[in-house]
């Protein structure tokens, strides 16, 4: 008897929203409880909060406000625990943090009809999202990002991850959140480094997709550096909107192909983070990676010297240090190994996104290492000997 293959296909619909507010856990703010009620309005829904320790320290009343808010809305919310965990990249580097979240999910009987609420910077959002995605094959997640970078980029996507084997995001899942809530009040206490670093992701998406958005960033570089909220709010909104549109309309939301334009500048960024033992913020590393790749693009004749100058001047005016921490040739070669590691991360064919003009994405499938070395030398010479 010959048995024919059984073939089936199906499509899964994903829907999630990004909300904007201030004072999210103020008793007169109904946004959070309304999000829960839209899911279930006939009995309380169990919530496990996982809070970035740095955010809790900068907002001393936060945990009490969360508790009071949940108590005030006890008909819809059952607050089980607020687990406070160290933030920063170490949250993604150490397995014990995943274990802490998984144990809290288990101990509080968080099921597939409950919610994990991740509140903090991008690293906490990534790690908690990963833990939530593997518990019970996926429990529901609400993200409350608290940095510029997480509000405009990392928290608005569908990816969750942790680091292992000295490789960034080696373990991860594609699991869209139930909702994301951007509370601008959290931005007020950011260190200047964190305020600035998130703008790198906006520059990234503008350079590959939208010239007018890049021009807005360039024209408002000084205002952004001086922490003016209105231009920053626009930058966050526009960047998040373009990121989410790419995911939903780009044709490859779970990155099964090799082209990942939203990783522009990231092959070097990921390697630089590792090489500096994660002393570089992700956004700082992305800015350096973008600066390197646009310098390479100019040497390859893809963009003009004038275009390169306005890009680099915009980033330095915002406050980015674009010098690469490569004091020896061996360090240069170590960075260049990041290209092969990026190909491995992508799977299959190497695809590096460059630009052929401001707002114009240009994919290449090989890198001329000698010219990339020249780009490194030129970039470092330009910003070391000014």
- Domain with residue 93: its CATH number is 3.40.50.1970
Q: Which pLDDT score, from 0 to 100, does residue 252 have? A: 65
182 and 102 assigned to the same domain: yes
Q: Which residue has the higher pLDDT, 169 or 355?
A: 355
Residue 313 CB neighbour total at 10 angstroms: 12
Contact 264, 207 (CB under 8 A): yes
Q: Does the pTM of the predicted model rise above 0.85? A: yes
Helix axes 282-299, 369-384, angle to 10 degrees: 120
- Calculated CA dihedral for residues 60, 191, 22, 287, nearest 10 degrees: -150
Rounded CA separation 155/54 (Å)? 17
137 phi, psi to nearest 5 deg = 60, 20
Is the residue at 12 inside a domain?
A: no
Is the residue at 23 inside a domain?
A: yes
User: DSSP H helical segments within the chain, as ranges?
Assistant: 31-39, 53-58, 62-72, 90-93, 95-107, 122-134, 148-152, 192-197, 199-209, 211-219, 221-225, 229-249, 266-275, 282-299, 305-318, 329-346, 369-384
Give the chain's mean pLDDT.
Answer: 93
pLDDT digit string, tens, across residues 191-246: 999 999 999 999 999 999 999 999 999 999 999 999 999 999 999 999 999 999 88
Containing domain of residue 360, as a range?
Answer: 192-243+256-384
123 and 173 assigned to the same domain: yes
Average pLDDT over residues 299-327: 97
Domain boundary among 189, 204, 234: 189
Q: Which pLDDT score, from 0 to 100, does residue 319 have? A: 97
Residue 230 CB neighbour total at 10 angstroms: 9
Q: Which pLDDT score, from 0 to 100, does residue 168 have? A: 85
pLDDT digit string, tens, across residues 119-129: 999 999 999 99
Is the residue at 251 inside a domain?
A: no
Q: Which of the four pLDDT bands, split at 50, 70 and 90, describes residue 374?
A: very high
349 and 327 assigned to the same domain: yes
User: What are the Cα distances from residue 181, in Å, to 27, 145, 151, 171?
Assistant: 16, 7, 8, 25
191 phi, psi to nearest 5 deg = -60, 155
Those residues whose C-beta lies under 8 Å from the C-beta of residue 100, and which sit 6 or more positions away, are 83, 85
Q: Which of the four pLDDT bands, split at 50, 70 and 90, describes residue 251?
A: low
Q: Which pLDDT score, from 0 to 100, does residue 15 have? A: 87
283 and 238 assigned to the same domain: yes
Q: What is the CATH number of the domain that holds 270?
A: 1.20.1090.10
318 and 356 assigned to the same domain: yes
Is the residue at 3 inside a domain?
A: no
Q: Which pLDDT score, from 0 to 100, does residue 256 have? A: 61
Q: Which pLDDT score, from 0 to 100, does residue 14 have? A: 84
Whether 258 shows a pLDDT value over 50: the answer reads no
Is the residue at 7 inside a domain?
A: no
168 and 215 assigned to the same domain: no
Contact 322, 378 (CB under 8 A): no
pLDDT digit string, tens, across residues 156-187: 989 999 999 988 889 999 999 999 999 999 99
Residue from 60, 55, 189, 70 nearest 123 by CA:
55
Contact 296, 174 (CB under 8 A): no
Residue 255: alpha-carbon gap to chain centroid: 15
143 and 281 assigned to the same domain: no
24 phi, psi to nearest 5 deg = -55, -40
Rounded CA separation 121/125 (Å)? 6
Is the residue at 321 inside a domain?
A: yes
Q: Which pLDDT score, from 0 to 100, does residue 291 have? A: 98
Q: How many domains does the chain have?
A: 2
164 and 286 assigned to the same domain: no
Bridge partners (DSSP) of residue 118 are 50, 143
Backbone dihedral region of 136: left (phi > 0), alpha (psi from -120 to 50 degrees) or beta? Answer: left
Comparing 141-145, 151-155, 180-184, 291-295, the range with the smallest average pLDDT is 151-155
Contact 284, 197 (CB under 8 A): yes
pLDDT digit string, tens, across residues 19-63: 999 999 999 999 999 999 999 999 999 999 999 999 999 999 999
Whether 338 shows a pLDDT value over 50: the answer reads yes
Q: Which pLDDT score, from 0 to 100, does residue 146 have? A: 97
Residue 244 CB neighbour total at 10 angstroms: 17
Contact 70, 79 (CB under 8 A): yes
3-state secondary structure of 280: coil
pLDDT digit string, tens, across residues 62-120: 999 999 999 999 999 999 999 999 998 899 999 999 999 999 999 999 999 999 999 99
Whether 287 shows a pLDDT value over 80: the answer reads yes
Is the residue at 199 inside a domain?
A: yes
Is the residue at 1 inside a domain?
A: no
Q: Which residue has the higher pLDDT, 341 or 358?
A: 358
Do the bridges between strand 140-145 and strand 115-120 make them parallel or antiparallel, or are there none, so unpaired? parallel
DSSP 157: S
Contact 83, 97 (CB under 8 A): no
214 and 346 assigned to the same domain: yes
170 and 229 assigned to the same domain: no
Q: Spell 287-307 as b/e; 16+ CB within 10 A means b.
A: bbbbbbbbbbbbbbebbeeeb
170 and 202 assigned to the same domain: no
354 and 370 assigned to the same domain: yes
Q: Spell 39-64 as b/e; 16+ CB within 10 A means b.
A: eeeeeebbbbbbbbebbbeebeebee
């Amino acid at each position: 008897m010959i048995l024919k293959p059984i073939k089936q296909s199906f499509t899964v619909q994903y829907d999630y929203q990004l909300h904007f507010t201030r004072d999210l856990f103020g008793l007169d703010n109904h946004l959070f409880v309304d999000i829960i009620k839209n899911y279930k309005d006939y009995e309380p829904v169990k919530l496990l909060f996982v809070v970035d320790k740095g955010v809790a320290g900068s907002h001393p009343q936060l945990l009490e406000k969360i508790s009071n808010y949940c108590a005030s809305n006890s008909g819809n919310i059952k607050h089980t625990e607020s687990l406070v965990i160290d933030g920063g990249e170490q949250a993604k580097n150490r397995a014990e943090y995943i274990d802490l979240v998984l144990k809290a999910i288990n101990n509080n009987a968080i099921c597939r009809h409950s919610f994990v609420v991740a509140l903090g910077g991008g690293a906490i959002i990534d790690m908690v999202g990963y833990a939530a995605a593997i518990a019970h094959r996926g429990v529901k997640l609400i993200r409350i990002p608290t940095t510029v970078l997480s509000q405009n980029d990392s928290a608005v996507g569908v990816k969750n991850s942790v680091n292992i084997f000295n490789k960034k995001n080696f373990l991860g899942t594609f699991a869209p959140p139930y909702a994301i809530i951007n509370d601008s009040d959290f931005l007020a206490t950011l260190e200047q480094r964190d305020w600035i670093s998130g703008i790198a992701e906006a520059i990234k998406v503008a350079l590959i997709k939208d010239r007018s958005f890049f021009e807005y960033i360039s024209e408002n570089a000084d205002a952004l550096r001086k922490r003016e909220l209105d231009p920053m709010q626009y930058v966050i909104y526009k960047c998040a909107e373009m990121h989410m549109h790419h995911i939903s309309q780009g044709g490859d939301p779970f990155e099964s192909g090799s082209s990942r334009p939203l990783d522009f500048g990231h092959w070097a960024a990921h390697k630089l983070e590792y090489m500096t033992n994660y002393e570089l913020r992700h956004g700082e590393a992305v800015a350096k990676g973008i600066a390197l790749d646009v310098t390479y693009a100019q040497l390859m004749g893809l963009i003009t010297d004038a275009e390169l100058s306005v890009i680099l001047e915009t980033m330095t005016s915002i406050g980015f240090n674009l010098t690469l921490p490569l004091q020896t040739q061996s360090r240069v070669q170590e960075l260049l190994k990041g290209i092969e590691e990026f190909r491995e991360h992508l799977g299959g064919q190497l695809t590096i996104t460059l630009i052929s003009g401001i707002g114009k994405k240009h994919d290449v499938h090989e890198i001329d290492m000698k010219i990339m070395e020249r780009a490194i030398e030129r970039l470092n010479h330009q910003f070391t000997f000014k």
